[in-house]
Each structure stands twice: as structure tokens, then as C-alpha cells.
A = this chain, B = another copy of it.
Amino acid sequence: MSSGTLTRYQQLADELAGSIRAGVLRPGDRLPSVRELRRQRGISPSTIFQAYAQLESDGLVEARLRSGYFVRARRPLTGQPPEAAQPSGRITPVAISELVFELLGSTRDVDVVPLGSAFPAPELFPFEALARGGARAMRRLRPAQISGALTAGDETLRAQVGRRYALNGVSLQTDELIVTNGAMEALNLCLQAVTQPGDVVVVESPTFYAALQALERLHLKAVEVETDPVEGVRLDALETLLQRQKVAACWFMPTFQNPLGALMSNAKKQALVQLLARHGVPLIEDDVYAELHFGARRPLPAKAFDQEGLVLHCSSFSKSLAPGYRVGWAAAGRYARHVERLKMMTSLASPIPSQLAVAEYLVQGGFERHLRHLREALKTQHTAARALIERFFPKGTRMTEPQGGYFVWLELPPGVDALALHHQAMAQSISTAPGVLFSADRRFTRHLRLNVGHPVGPPVRAALKRLGSMAREQIAAAGG
């Protein structure tokens, strides 16, 4: 990966993906068997298996027991996936915060069905094991380690994080890694490291509201780029934009984008990194959902293709292992020392107890097993929730079918006002995340992001049914 070239299996995967996208291979078609491909092309079975696993991970094919690999239906359960948004292309000073606080402040109540939440069910995480490990590590700690603690973070933790990347085919220097208070701090520090007040930053459309808030806080301007609900940022649109104006950075989420769930293929990630390198524009990569893939393999981050040190890669354990521990990191390439200094200036260092607890858990092993269970649970919940949405929501509702994470993004039929729907639902103790949260210029008025990271029991089922009814009523009232 560090060479920036595609390996053999990736070339094969990309070739087959191209055939699928071009319609040469169609939904339901069986992929060539390993024996066929080996005979025709002289490719080794292990390369073929890797390529198929990659395609499965990208959501393009599915394995059927004892029958081989089949092209998946691209058609989501309900109608088409939402259309890619056409951003205005305007440079927008950002002022989203008031709305975000107003909406999210109301969703913290534990009695609310948390469809608007940004977190999966806490029951899915190994808090007991983390607490035990943390206590063990804290008791072993010598006082001198406290004052010796570096801004960059605990050495064992950084080594463990680096090792996981290496296992996934991404080589990072350990000293490039800086431990932060969650990915949120990492993203904010990286953004500050590459911008000055007044600069323009490219974000996806729709985009994660925290990115918009960070831009607002640092007095930056946003320009949104067209983003496909399945395949992520449209590179042609991005290139046009880069040719037209000076851009200080891009802030993207190439893997399981929030809110769309879009996943860029490896080839597309590589093309993105190369495009930005040609323009000398740094990429802030938010990779927090990557471990929550439903396919066999963890999607590679854009960082894997970074040869210029221009990718500031940010992630955390908050979605994958330890919510509330606030253990995140940045691998900020050529900006690593700058980010470390900003970290020192803003919060000095990250807390030792959280770092040691996570490091101890990783050293003891068990993370992979936990992740398998977590992914399985999220996939099951996704399927169950999507079936209910298909059943209860009005005809014409479009819905994404992400291959990881725990969000679905809905485009409701004309006549629906998603913000009004949110308020109506809150009055009945159901939270949602209305689409206007995800745009600097308040588009996505018919859209909702729903959290499907909670077990689909009677409360979630009833909430989805109620939401669907409310949407229908709105349409009827609008004369639809």
C-alpha cells in the first residue's frame, strides 16, 4: 500500500467492479468461479479470493453458501437510493451550530427512542473488560510515567494502533500518530493545522454536522461538493471545483460517510489522493466507521495511498470499542508535528487512564472477536430496520443501503418537511436527525438520518411505524 500502486488482487477487484457498474455483470449474476478465472487468466486462487472478499466488502457482491459469489441487487429495498445532491457551489459562511444544539440537545433523554442519536447501543461494547484492564494497567503505572507522559500519547497505545493499520495493509510511522480526545479533537486540530481564518474548505454534500461546526468555530468557509449516496464524492465535480478556486483543505469521510453511508472504492480513494496531491490540497480523512464493515474486509483508508504526507487521517475507538473513553488519534502526515503542538496548546495531553485501559485491552487480545460480534449485530439491526422502513414509510421513500456503520439516509417524497417531522416525533419521544443538519445552506429538507445501531425491539419498531404514519399524514395534508 505504501507504494501507492494497486496490488494484483485490487486490480482484479476494480476490473470486476467496473463491469458491475457498467452493467456488464448484472444483479444476480454469478461471478466466475475460482477455477474458471485461474484457467482463463492464470491468476492464483488466493488473489482471486482476496479480490472477491474486497468486492464483498465494497458491497458489490455477496457470497452464497456453497454457490459462489453473486452480484448484489443495487436496488435498495424501497425505491432507488436517494439522488446525489446538486450543491449550489456557493462558498458559504457556516452558521449551523444553533440548529445542531437545538436539535441534539433534545435527544439525550434516555426515555427517547434514539433514532437521531450519533452512537450505537452501549450494550454492544465490552465495558467490563475495559474497566478490568484499565484498573490492572493503572495499578502497574509508576508515578514517573505520569509526568513523562507525552502530548503525543501513550507509547503502547500508539504502537497497538500502528500495528492494526499495518495488519490492514496501511503502513504508518508510530511517531506520526498523536492520541487525541476522541476523533473530534483530532479532526479539529487537523483542520486548524492546515487553515487560516477565512479559508475555504471543501466538504461532502450532505456532510457530517460536526465538520460544519468546526468550520464555523475556526471562521472558515464551506463549499459543498456533489456526493453520490453509494460511491461518495464525485471526483469530476471536485476537480472542477479545485480548478475554479483556491481551497485550503478537503474534509471527507471516504468510508461509510455520515450521513450517507457511501463507500469510495480503493481505486477511487487512490484517485482522490492523487487529484488532491496534484493541487497540493490536504485531505482531512474522518475514518471513524471503517471498523464497522459488513463485508469481509476493512475498507482501506485514503491514507493508504498517501505518498506526499498530505492526508491527515483521523479515527477513534469511540464507535468500535470504547464509547465514552474518548480515545482517538490523528496520523497527520507532514503536519504531524504541527498537530502535536496544537494538541499541547489546547489540551496538553490526553488522559492516561483511558489510554491505558484501551492499550491493555488491545494487548490482551479479544478486539477482533468483539468486532466480529459488533459487526454482526449492526448488520442484523440494519436489515431489520430497513425492512420496517420499507414496510411503514410512504411510497416513493428512497433509502441508502450502506455496507457498514449504523445509519440509513432517507429521502422522503415531496410534501414531507423533515424538520417539522422531527419536532412532531420529539413530542412523542422519538428522536431523528433531520437533513438540514447536514448542509451549510440548509438543503435536504425532505431527508432524515436514522440510527439503526440499536436492537430492533418493540420500541424501535413502534417508533419507525409512527414516523412512517406521520410522514404519510404530512403528504396527505400537502395534498400529495
Which A residues are within 8 Å of any B CB, using their own CB?
97, 101, 108, 110, 114, 117, 119, 121-123, 125, 127-128, 130-132, 134-135, 138-139, 141, 143-144, 146-150, 180-182, 184-185, 188, 192, 196-197, 210, 213-214, 216-217, 219, 323-327, 341-342, 344-354, 357
Which chain B residue has the least Cβ–Cβ distance from A125?
A: B143
Q: Which of A148, A210, A345 has the most CB of B within 10 A?
A: A345
Can you report 23 A-B residue pairs in the complex whose CB atoms are below 8 A from each other? A110-B148, A117-B147, A132-B135, A132-B139, A134-B134, A134-B135, A135-B135, A135-B138, A184-B347, A188-B345, A210-B345, A213-B345, A217-B345, A217-B346, A324-B352, A326-B347, A326-B348, A326-B352, A327-B351, A346-B346, A351-B351, A351-B353, A351-B354
The answer to whether B324 touches A149, judged by C-beta atoms less than 8 angstroms apart, is: yes
The answer to whether B127 touches A217, judged by C-beta atoms less than 8 angstroms apart, is: no
Report Cα–Cα, A182/B345, bound state, in Å: 12
Report Cα–Cα, A324/B352, bound state, in Å: 6
The answer to whether B134 touches A122, judged by C-beta atoms less than 8 angstroms apart, is: no
Shortest beta-carbon distance from A112 to chain B in Å:
11
The answer to whether A146 touches B122, judged by C-beta atoms less than 8 angstroms apart, is: yes
Which chain B residue has the least Cβ–Cβ distance from A328?
A: B347
The answer to whether A119 touches B138, judged by C-beta atoms less than 8 angstroms apart, is: no
* Candidates B148, B188, B342, B353; contact of A325 at CB < 8 Å: B353
The answer to whether B122 touches A144, judged by C-beta atoms less than 8 angstroms apart, is: yes
In the bound complex, residues from chain B placing their C-beta under 8 Å from that of A351 are: 181, 324-327, 351, 353-354
Report Cα–Cα, A357/B354, bound state, in Å: 11
Report Cα–Cα, A159/B134, bound state, in Å: 25
Report Cα–Cα, A134/B134, bound state, in Å: 9
Shortest beta-carbon distance from A449 to chain B in Å:
17
The answer to whether B139 touches A128, judged by C-beta atoms less than 8 angstroms apart, is: yes
The answer to whether B347 touches A181, judged by C-beta atoms less than 8 angstroms apart, is: yes
The answer to whether A138 touches B146, judged by C-beta atoms less than 8 angstroms apart, is: no
Report Cα–Cα, A197/B199, bound state, in Å: 14
Which chain B residue has the least Cβ–Cβ distance from A187?
A: B346
In the bound complex, residues from chain B placing their C-beta under 8 Å from that of A119 are: 147
In the bound complex, residues from chain B placing their C-beta under 8 Å from that of A146 are: 122, 125, 127, 323-324
Q: A122-B147, A323-B146 are in contact. Are A184 and B354 (CB under 8 A)?
A: no
Which chain B residue has the least Cβ–Cβ distance from A127?
A: B143
Report Cα–Cα, A221/B123, bound state, in Å: 48
In the bound complex, residues from chain B placing their C-beta under 8 Å from that of A149 are: 324
In the bound complex, residues from chain B placing their C-beta under 8 Å from that of A132 are: 135, 139
Closest 4 CB pairs of A and B: A135-B135, A131-B138, A122-B143, A324-B352
In the bound complex, residues from chain B placing their C-beta under 8 Å from that of A219 are: 196-197
In the bound complex, residues from chain B placing their C-beta under 8 Å from that of A347 are: 180-182, 184-185, 188, 326, 347
Which chain B residue has the least Cβ–Cβ distance from A210?
A: B345
Q: A122-B144, A135-B131, A138-B134 are in contact. Are A325 and B352 (CB under 8 A)?
A: yes
Report Cα–Cα, A219/B192, bound state, in Å: 12
The answer to whether A143 touches B131, judged by C-beta atoms less than 8 angstroms apart, is: no
Q: Which of A214, A326, A327 has the most CB of B within 10 A?
A: A326
Q: A147-B119, A197-B197, A354-B353 are in contact. Are A346 and B108 (CB under 8 A)?
A: no
Which chain B residue has the least Cβ–Cβ distance from A120?
A: B147
In the bound complex, residues from chain B placing their C-beta under 8 Å from that of A323 are: 146-147
